[in-house]
């Protein structure tokens, strides 16, 4: 896996609904295509995405071969306290890519 991009507002008011966006650069090979030599290209997709807010899971998703390359996820959450949003993507090979962002709640 390569680069992950996340967008979280740096500050919010307590109880405010904030928009969280996350994307990872990944080819998402479905396993259904043949390579130039006629051999099947092995499946390699992001299978799971999880976001935690100060250690508590606030969003998760499972992905399947129909998801496009560089999957983009957008969701909302309620800002309750200042803390860290941690993002984790897992692929078929078990590789994990992480990212994080801080949010200050007043």
CATH classification at residue 18: 2.60.40.10
How does DSSP assign 46-105, residue by residue?
Answer: EEEEEEEETTEEEEEEE--TTSPSS-EEEEEEE--SSEEEEEEEEETT--EEEEEEEEEE
Decide: residue 62, CB within 10 A, 0-12 exposed, 13-18 middle, 19+ buried. Answer: exposed
Q: What percent of the chain has pLDDT over 90?
A: 81
The mean of the pLDDT values for the chain is 94
Q: Which of 90, 93, 98 has the alpha carbon at shortest distance from 43?
A: 93
* pLDDT category of residue 82 using cuts at 50, 70 and 90: very high
Q: pLDDT per residue over 92-102, tens digit each?
A: 999 999 999 99
Q: pLDDT per residue over 30-52, tens digit each?
A: 888 998 999 999 999 999 999 99
Q: pLDDT per residue over 55-74, tens digit each?
A: 999 999 999 988 888 999 99
Contact 70, 24 (CB under 8 A): yes
Q: Which pLDDT score, from 0 to 100, does residue 65 have?
A: 86
User: Which residue range(s) make up the domain with 10?
Assistant: 4-31+40-105
Contact 28, 67 (CB under 8 A): yes
- For the chain, the domain total comes to 1
């Amino acid at each position: 896996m390569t680069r992950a991009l996340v967008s979280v507002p740096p500050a919010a008011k307590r109880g405010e609904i904030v928009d969280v966006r996350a994307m990872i650069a990944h080819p998402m090979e479905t396993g259904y295509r043949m390579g130039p030599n006629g051999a099947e290209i092995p499946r390699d997709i992001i299978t799971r995405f999880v976001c935690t807010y100060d250690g508590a899971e606030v969003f998760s998703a499972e992905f399947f071969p129909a998801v496009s390359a560089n999957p983009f996820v957008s969701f909302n959450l309620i800002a309750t306290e200042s803390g860290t949003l941690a993002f984790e993507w897992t692929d078929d090979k078990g590789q994990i890519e992480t990212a994080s962002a801080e949010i200050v709640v007043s």
